[in-house]
Structure 1
Amino acid sequence: MSESLRPSGHRAAALLPGPRTAEPDERSPRSATRGPTAPAGTGGGGARDAFFDNAKYLAIVLVAMAHAWEPLRGDSRAAAALYITVYTFHMPAFIVISGYFSRGFDASPKRVKRLITGVAVPYVIFEVAYTVFKWFADDDPGYPISLLDPWYLTWFLVALFIWRLTTPLWKNVRWPLSLSLAIAVLAAVSPDIGDDLDLQRVLQFLPFFVLGLVLRPEHFQLVRRREARILAVPVLAAAPAFAYWAAPRMNTAWFYRRDSAQELAAPGWTGAVMTLAMFGCSVVLVACFLAWVPRRRTWFTALGAGTLYGYLLHGFLAKGSRFWGWYDAQWLSTPLGEIAVTLIGAAVISVLCTPPVRRVFRFAMEPEMAWAFKAPRPDAEVSRAGSSRGSGA
């Protein structure tokens, strides 16, 4: 994975999700559990915006495809090129959308509760579940459960929890995007940050979340214009061509953003250069991707509300395929095998986003947990409502 992608009133937005250098996602994106409602200027009313649901679904399909290509990269330069291309923008796209739908987060009790039940609790559940899965599937019963060391896809939940909590800060500083980029650059040249909570990833991916916070509906309207779609075509065509050239020359661990430059055996200054260069490339490709996302409802629009489910559940199959040697079959390294793996990955992730699957696993991903929280005080609610009316809000 992946690497291994909602307004704040919604649970963790767009996932899902990415990957130390040898095995991309060993310890290491989350999507909206309920999906976004349309913000002002993007669809109106309280209805869901098909554009964002479509974007999340298509991005999660790319996540699954990239995970399916990962074991093939050594034998196929084409698979490596596609893998690099997708890794450049699939997690940034999820994170930008997550930031966009976090703009209303104000640390109120209601939103903090949703953050805990929709992000923190699923993190604990799946961190334990993935570890137990590794005990049996990989015959590694000594592997420890560690809530400080996210395993595989769960890193995104940790990151989203931290980013969401810091939203009020980014909404109050003068140059939030510049500041977040400076933090990402410092992280990329700081090898002593360590692995706790995957802080390297949290900090290096931070600018994409902050970018989402500063975007407005009109910015998304720009990429939905016909001119944007036309301009996106040559860029989307050139990206895999460049990746094909770069595949044997570049360390793909840069795209995971979980290590400093020094940890990748590169001079420290390259961390700053690569952070800024990859941010620019990622933003361009995210814009091109969004330009071609359908704006109308399609057969897969409803699946966009279940990308968190697809993201976290497909991780068991993605890791299991390695543990159980599914990729040992030689025919999988042929063009026909690569196409088959791609289609299977897309089909599996689609099924995991469907309503029946969501109903089965809602207890783990959208727990209500009313027993764990105090009921809101009516007088406090009335007071807040009166304050809003009095301020003209």
Structure 2
Amino acid sequence: MKRTAYFDNAKAILIYLVVLGHLMSGYLNENQYVDTLYLVIYLFHMPAFILIAGHFSRKIKSLDDLKKLVKTLVLPYVIFQILYTLYYRNVFGDHVQFEFFEPRYALWFLLSMIMWKMMLWVFSSHKGMIVVSIIVSLLVGYMSEVNEWLSLSRTFFFFPFFLMGYYLNRENFVKMKNKWNVRVASMLASTLIVVVYLYGDVRWKEWFFGRVPYEDIGYGLLESSVLSRLFIYVLMIVSTYIFLSLVPTENQFYTNIGGKTLGVYLLHLFIIRAFKETDIYVWIEDTGNYVALFAIAFLIVYVLSSNWVWKVTAPLIMVNRKS
């Protein structure tokens, strides 16, 4: 198994799905196929991304580790929080205020990454802490104070996936690619898509985001909020297993994008916000040509991962050539 290609392939596919999902968000409740694909994407794209991030993360042990954390996560968060606020407010007239403790849009991921790395001080002692992290998340959902402030709700909600990745060794990923797993994952993928199409409801999306406490979610999956979140965890774990089992291990035409995902992640919402003001956005809505979103998402990822964009933005993002 070519492990580097495998992880770069996974990250490249996931960042494409992140962009596609954000494009699709403006067309929900208009087409059942769009709603189904949106729900399926959100079942695994961030859990898988976060699991991989956890796999490559290490506990902060020194001052140098702390400095690296500040450089690669804290400074980009501050910079892009300012840039997005100015962009949305001054260019489009959106009612947004400067607020450093409530992350703007996709920036919650950076803030949560900071906290996940620090939480390893407590949760890195034993694999059994994965179960503890799930229990903590289930209980935290009842706390109204744990919401979008400091991205706390999402931090606790997705932390079990970060911790799973942290405890998975490289051999675990190799075993996931055996023929038996690939066959099982293929059958499960087909089944999952059909089930979501037949029984899914786009109102489930708030359960997938994990950004607010139970009391702020207007649509329940099951009678119990804890059982609803636990049910979502099961679906997400199964979906993530399916994805990781099906990711190609050989070099693909998109493999090199996997090393530039942070740049694409931080920049793509600038383009998507502008896209929503274009005639193309309205045309897709009026004609129902949602298939165009696949091409637009590819174009965004392709441009933002190009060498010339990377060279210009890499210093701003505070990263080296691999991200």
Per the normalisation by structure 2, the TM-score is 0.92
Instruction: Establish whether residue 233 from structure 1 lines up as the match of residue 181 from structure 2.
Output: no
| SS of equivalent residue, structure 1 residue 49 | helix
Shifted more, 154-163 versus 283-292: the winner is 283-292
Per-residue CA deviation, residues 345-393 of structure 1 (Å, 9 max, x unaligned), is 122112212222111101211269xxxxxxxxxxxxxxxxxxxxxxxxx
Aligned to 1:182: 135
Give, in angstroms, the shift of residue 303 of structure 1: 1.1
Shifted more, 288-297 versus 187-196: the winner is 187-196
Q: Are the structure 2 counterparts of residues 163 and 130 from structure 1 closer, same or farther at C-alpha, using a change threshold of 3 Å? A: same
Whichever residue aligns with residue 126 of structure 1, its letter is: F
Aligned to 2:293: 341
Q: Are the structure 2 counterparts of residues 115 and 330 from structure 1 closer, same or farther at C-alpha, using a change threshold of 3 Å? A: closer
Figure out how many residues of one structure are paired with residues of the other and give that number.
319
In the alignment, is the contact (CA less than 8 A) between 1:59 and 1:94 conserved in 2? yes
Task: Provide the rounded CA distance (Å) in 2 between the counterparts of 1:84 and 1:192.
Answer: 27
Aligned to 2:122: 169
State the superposition RMSD in angstroms. 2.1
Aligned to 1:364: 316
User: Where in structure 1 are there 5+ consecutive unaligned residues?
Assistant: 1-41, 369-393
Determine which of 256, 276, 285 is the counterpart of 2:209.
256
Shifted more, 321-330 versus 222-231: the winner is 321-330
1:144-159 correspondence to structure 2 within 5 Å: 144-159=97-112
Per the normalisation by structure 1, the TM-score is 0.76
Q: 1 or 2 for the larger relative contact order (CA 8 Å, sep ≥6)? A: 2
Instruction: Establish whether residue 276 from structure 1 lines up as the match of residue 222 from structure 2.
Output: no
In the alignment, is the contact (CA less than 8 A) between 2:59 and 2:121 conserved in 1? yes
Give, in angstroms, the shift of residue 258 of structure 1: 0.6
Give structure 1 regions of 4+ aligned residues with deviation exceeding 4 angstroms: 266-269, 323-326, 330-333
Aligned to 1:115: 69
Instruction: Establish whether residue 134 from structure 1 lines up as the match of residue 114 from structure 2.
Output: no
Aligned to 2:170: 217
Aligned to 1:290: 244
| SS of equivalent residue, structure 1 residue 150 | coil
Task: Provide the rounded CA distance (Å) in 1 between the counterparts of 2:40 and 2:93.
Answer: 33
1:298-377 correspondence to structure 2 within 5 Å: 298-323=252-277, 326-329=280-283, 333-334=287-288, 337-366=289-318
In the alignment, is the contact (CA less than 8 A) between 1:95 and 1:208 conserved in 2? yes
Give, in angstroms, the shift of residue 320 of structure 1: 2.4
Determine which of 178, 184, 193 is the counterpart of 2:146.
193
Q: Are the structure 2 counterparts of residues 126 and 274 from structure 1 closer, same or farther at C-alpha, using a change threshold of 3 Å? A: same
| SS of equivalent residue, structure 2 residue 291 | helix
Task: Provide the rounded CA distance (Å) in 2 between the counterparts of 1:198 and 1:324.
Answer: 31
User: Where in structure 2 are there 5+ consecutive unaligned residues?
Assistant: none
Whichever residue aligns with residue 66 of structure 1, its letter is: G
In the alignment, is the contact (CA less than 8 A) between 1:170 and 1:176 conserved in 2? yes
Whichever residue aligns with residue 53 of structure 2, its letter is: S
In the alignment, is the contact (CA less than 8 A) between 1:189 and 1:269 conserved in 2? no
Task: Provide the rounded CA distance (Å) in 2 between the counterparts of 1:145 and 1:86.
Answer: 31
In the alignment, is the contact (CA less than 8 A) between 1:306 and 1:355 conserved in 2? no
Whichever residue aligns with residue 219 of structure 1, its letter is: N
Instruction: Establish whether residue 124 from structure 1 lines up as the match of residue 78 from structure 2.
Output: yes
Q: Are the structure 2 counterparts of residues 162 and 269 from structure 1 closer, same or farther at C-alpha, using a change threshold of 3 Å? A: farther
Structure label with greater radius of gyration? 1
Task: Provide the rounded CA distance (Å) in 2 between the counterparts of 1:296 and 1:212.
Answer: 21
Per-residue CA deviation, residues 109-132 of structure 1 (Å, 9 max, x unaligned), is 222222111111111111111111
